[in-house]
């Protein structure tokens, strides 16, 4: 007996990371909703058969019109998937603006728009992705909004959407990158979703459990070269300090507590400042809009190329990104790793539809056994030595310059 097609609509599609993974798990994309023109072009280039909604602004596209463009009627949609812009719920946003302002951010309204579409389409499954901070504060405003709106839908539409909040780190499932995210899954009939057990572990934990973490070398080692294209040359005040940072370290190496030259105070910079990959470990989180001194950087003291960034996010090599390197970096950094989309797609089919589809993820890289020794750090250039000396450490949580400014305003 032939199984009915699993149809999906993607909201906030971006470059298509989540969509690509769900497609690899057997879902058929009926419509992508994405406002950014460059990301739209990336979607069209890689998936010419996928339909892109017009307009791409979720606030200008009514739920009825969205369904019309997808060719579906209410209750015909298998999966509504997407990750609203994460900044209002992010931990960095929490520290920068304080807790109570996050849901007044216009971007937070996208969560309500997402739920309006749930109310109209009544999909069998809702999948929402965001950073871990969506439930960061004691009040859990983002999560509470979600619960309240789903309860309204249940009362008016006789559904039983019950959100399952799933926090995970991508590295535990074969993505060669430490990337913490929250996925919220709700089934129209109220079925429970269980996160599958991790498949990959730190070297000291791996015995008898599964496979070791996949590393930066596993993902991009075959691209290692001493010949750098011009667009990966580092720039800015600290560019020449990068070669002096050992693999896997950041600016903290050059403080009194570590082994370098004391150029900075302990924890006086953000953790990704001059952060460098280690070949033998997973990558740090790929960010969407890094500054010139924001990592992770390549272990040879340069920026990561577009292809390297894409590999660390588990995009396949035939995936192309429209725009210059900066535009591509933003699209890649904003994406859900496609391998996570594949994982959730397979598990949704297995747990909610009873299909026997559990298998190894096809979008994660293969393990390599040829990882070379770490790069030797260079000496600190003379132009930075004037910074050498005693530096005050950060005074502690809530006592830094930004926190003091917030207190003065209040």
Of the candidates 72, 86, 163, 68, the residue with the CA atom closest to the CA atom of residue 125: 163
- Strands (E) in 91-163, as ranges, are 125-131
β-bridge mates for residue 80, sequence order? 9, 126
- Other residues' Cβ atoms within 10 Å of the Cβ of residue 277: 25
Pairwise CA distance, residues 363 & 138, whole Å = 36
Q: Report the DSSP beta bridge partners of residue 165.
A: 184
Return all residues near 104 (Cβ < 8 A) that are at least 6 apart: none
CA distances (Å), 325 to each of 253, 289, 295, 333, in order? 29, 11, 15, 12
102 with 94: CB under 8 angstroms? yes
Q: Which residue blocks in 245-384 are alpha helix, DSSP H? A: 306-312, 325-334, 338-353
Q: Are 273 and 394 in contact (CB under 8 A)?
A: no
Backbone angles phi, psi at 214, to 5 degrees: -80, 140
Residue 262, burial from CB neighbour count under 10 angstroms (0-12, 13-18, 19+): middle
* Residue labelled with tokens 């996925």: 183
Give catalytic status of residue 371 as yes or no: no
Q: Rounded distance, CA 337 to CA 325, Å?
A: 19
Q: Which of 32, 86, 280, 371 is catalytic?
A: 86
Q: What phi and psi values does residue 275 have, to the nearest 5 degrees? A: -80, 130
Going by the DSSP 8-state scheme, the letter that residue 32 receives in this structure is E
CA distance 120 to 395: 51
Whether residue 133 contacts residue 96, with contact meaning beta carbons closer than 8 Å, is answered with no
Nearest to 317 by CA among 220, 394, 225: 220
Nearest-5° Cα angle at 285, 280 to 288? 135
Positions annotated as catalytic residues are 86
């Amino acid at each position: 007996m032939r199984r009915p097609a699993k149809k999906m609509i993607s909201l906030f599609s971006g470059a298509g990371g989540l969509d690509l993974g769900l497609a690899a798990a057997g879902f058929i994309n009926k419509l992508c909703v994405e406002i950014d023109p460059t990301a739209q072009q990336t979607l069209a280039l890689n998936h010419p058969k996928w339909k892109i909604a017009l307009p791409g602004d979720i606030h200008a596209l009514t739920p009825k019109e969205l369904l019309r463009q997808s060719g579906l009627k209410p209750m015909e949609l298998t999966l509504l998937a997407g990750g609203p812009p994460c900044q209002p719920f992010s931990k960095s946003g929490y520290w920068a603006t304080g807790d109570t302002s996050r849901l007044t951010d216009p971007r937070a309204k996208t969560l309500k728009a997402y739920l309006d579409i749930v109310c109209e389409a009544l999909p069998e499954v809702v999948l929402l992705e965001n950073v871990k901070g969506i439930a960061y504060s004691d009040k859990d405003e983002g999560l509470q909004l979600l619960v309240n709106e789903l309860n309204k839908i249940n009362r008016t539409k006789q559904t039983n959407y019950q959100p399952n909040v799933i926090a995970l780190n991508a590295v535990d499932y074969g993505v060669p990158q430490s990337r913490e995210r929250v996925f919220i899954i709700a089934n129209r009939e109220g079925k429970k979703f269980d996160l599958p057990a991790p498949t990959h572990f730190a070297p000291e934990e791996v015995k008898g459990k599964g496979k070791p973490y996949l590393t930066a070398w596993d993902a991009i080692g075959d691209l290692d070269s001493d010949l750098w294209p011009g667009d990966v040359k580092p720039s800015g005040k600290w560019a020449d300090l990068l070669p002096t940072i050992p693999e896997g370290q950041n600016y903290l190496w050059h403080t009194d507590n570590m082994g370098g030259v004391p150029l900075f105070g302990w924890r006086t910079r953000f953790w990704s400042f001059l952060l460098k990959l280690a070949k033998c470990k997973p990558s740090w989180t790929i960010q969407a809009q890094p500054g010139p001194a924001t990592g992770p950087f390549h272990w040879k003291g340069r920026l990561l190329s577009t292809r390297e960034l894409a590999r660390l996010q588990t995009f396949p090599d035939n995936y192309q990104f429209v725009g210059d390197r900066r535009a591509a970096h933003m699209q890649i950094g904003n994406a859900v790793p496609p391998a996570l989309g594949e994982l959730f797609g397979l598990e949704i089919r297995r747990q909610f539809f009873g299909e026997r589809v559990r298998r190894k993820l096809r979008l994660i890289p293969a393990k390599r056994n040829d990882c070379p020794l770490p790069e030797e750090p260079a000496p600190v250039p003379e132009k930075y030595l004037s910074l050498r000396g005693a530096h005050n450490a950060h005074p502690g949580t809530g006592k830094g310059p930004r926190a003091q400014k917030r207190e003065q305003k209040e």
